[in-house]
Amino acid sequence: MFTLDQLEGFVAVATELHFGRAAERLNMTQPPLTRQIQKLEQTLGVSLLDRNKRNVSLTPAGLTFLAESRRLLALAREAPERARRAARDSGARIDLGFTALAAFEVLRSLLANFDQAAPDIEIRLHEMSSKSQTQGLLEGALDVGFVRLSNAPAEFESKEIQREPLLLVAPIGHSLALESGAVDVADLEDTDFLMYPPLDAKYFHDLTARVLGATRPSSMQYITNVHTMAALARADRGVAIVPASTREMGVDGVVYRPIKGWETDVVQMHAIWLKDSVNPTLNRFVKILSAAFSLNASGHDD
């Protein structure tokens, strides 16, 4: 079986891609670090690193094991505090991640329910992107995340907590704001458009790309946050496709219109948590969460 020291050594080398610099980072000499990596590879039965006199690189197995190593080390660092928390009578606590837009409707409803159903549970709130929440859950910094994900990774359990339609947001006075009824996607061909970046806002980027289809706006700027999009639309910097709950933000100077062919509730929000979570309060949280949003308390909601 491998040791935490071996994992730390591997992560250092994989990060630096240099044995000498990794050894300095760990305050050790290079030969014992090299032996650690060799023993780790022997234990796993795979090569984690390709190395020659000039370069060190990760093998495909090494790249996969790096992510798992970081997760295991994070859990190891968090384990003592989680154990102390579980030992305290007042340790009923949930670290909850949420996106900014979730605070306007989903989070407000949930917190009101918890104030009545479980006043003894301390809920610590962390506003983060969906991508950052997923990482925070894997590293043990969060217990539950409210995220936008098409499919939850295999490590997680998930519950759908919200569905809503997409809307077009345009500044008052824009040609698309002067009409009534649903807007035709083809009318976006000659517009300045605010788009989500494919990495930092993948869920909404992919969904918006599906809506646009073959339509190509005249210009496109990439904006990560929905509330920033609404503000930029108000400033006449372009139109955008946003979830209906954006209206709850109270941004004035804009008009929201449904999109022809996309009037159904296609935007989803899920609560996710690790299957192997050791937080003893999590089961209570999930039951109250499920009751608050009228969901089945067992299994997945696909």
18-44 residue pLDDT tens: 999 999 999 999 999 999 999 999 999
CB-based contacts of 45, cutoff 8 Å, min separation 6: none
Token pair for residue 253? 């100077």
DSSP 187-219: GGGGSEEEE--TTTTHHHHHHHHHHHTT---SE
Q: Are residues 117 and 254 in the same domain?
A: no
Domain span at residue 217? 166-258
SS3 for 20? Answer: helix
Give the pLDDT band (50/70/90) at residue 153: confident
CB 252 within 8 A of CB 171: no
Other Cβ atoms less than 10 A from the Cβ of 7: the count is 20
Q: Is the pLDDT of residue 9 over 80?
A: yes
Q: What is the pLDDT of residue 78?
A: 79
**Which CATH number covers residue 66?**
1.10.10.10
For residue 14, tell me if it sits in a domain. Answer: yes
Beta strands in 4-155 (DSSP E): 49-51, 56-58, 93-98, 122-127, 144-147
**Which CATH number covers residue 130?**
3.40.190.10
Q: What is the pLDDT of residue 117?
A: 86
For the residues 238-256, what does the mean pLDDT come to? 93
Q: Is the pLDDT of residue 296 over 60?
A: no
For residue 301, tell me if it sits in a domain. Answer: no
Q: Are residues 74 and 113 in the same domain?
A: no
Q: Are residues 251 and 190 in the same domain?
A: yes
For the residues 237-246, what does the mean pLDDT come to? 95
How many domains, the chain? Answer: 3
CB-based contacts of 127, cutoff 8 Å, min separation 6: 97, 98, 99, 100, 103
Kindly calculate the radius of gyration of the chain based on its CA atoms and give it in whole angstroms: 24
157-175 residue pLDDT tens: 999 998 999 999 999 999 9
Give the pLDDT band (50/70/90) at residue 294: low
Token pair for residue 97? 């991640």
Q: What is the pLDDT of residue 164?
A: 93
Least Cα distance to 71 among 134, 130, 123, 13 occurs for 134
Q: What is the pLDDT of residue 91?
A: 60
153 or 127, greater pLDDT? 127
Q: End of a domain among 83, 118, 133?
A: 83
Q: End of a domain among 57, 83, 109?
A: 83
Q: Are residues 109 and 238 in the same domain?
A: no
Q: Are residues 276 and 238 in the same domain?
A: no
Q: Is the pLDDT of residue 50 over 60?
A: yes
178-219 residue pLDDT tens: 888 999 999 999 899 999 999 888 999 999 999 999 999 999
Give the pLDDT band (50/70/90) at residue 100: confident
Residue type, 269: M
- DSSP symbol at 182: P
Q: Is the pLDDT of residue 102 over 90?
A: no
71-98 residue pLDDT tens: 889 888 877 876 666 665 446 889 999 9
For residue 297, tell me if it sits in a domain. Answer: no
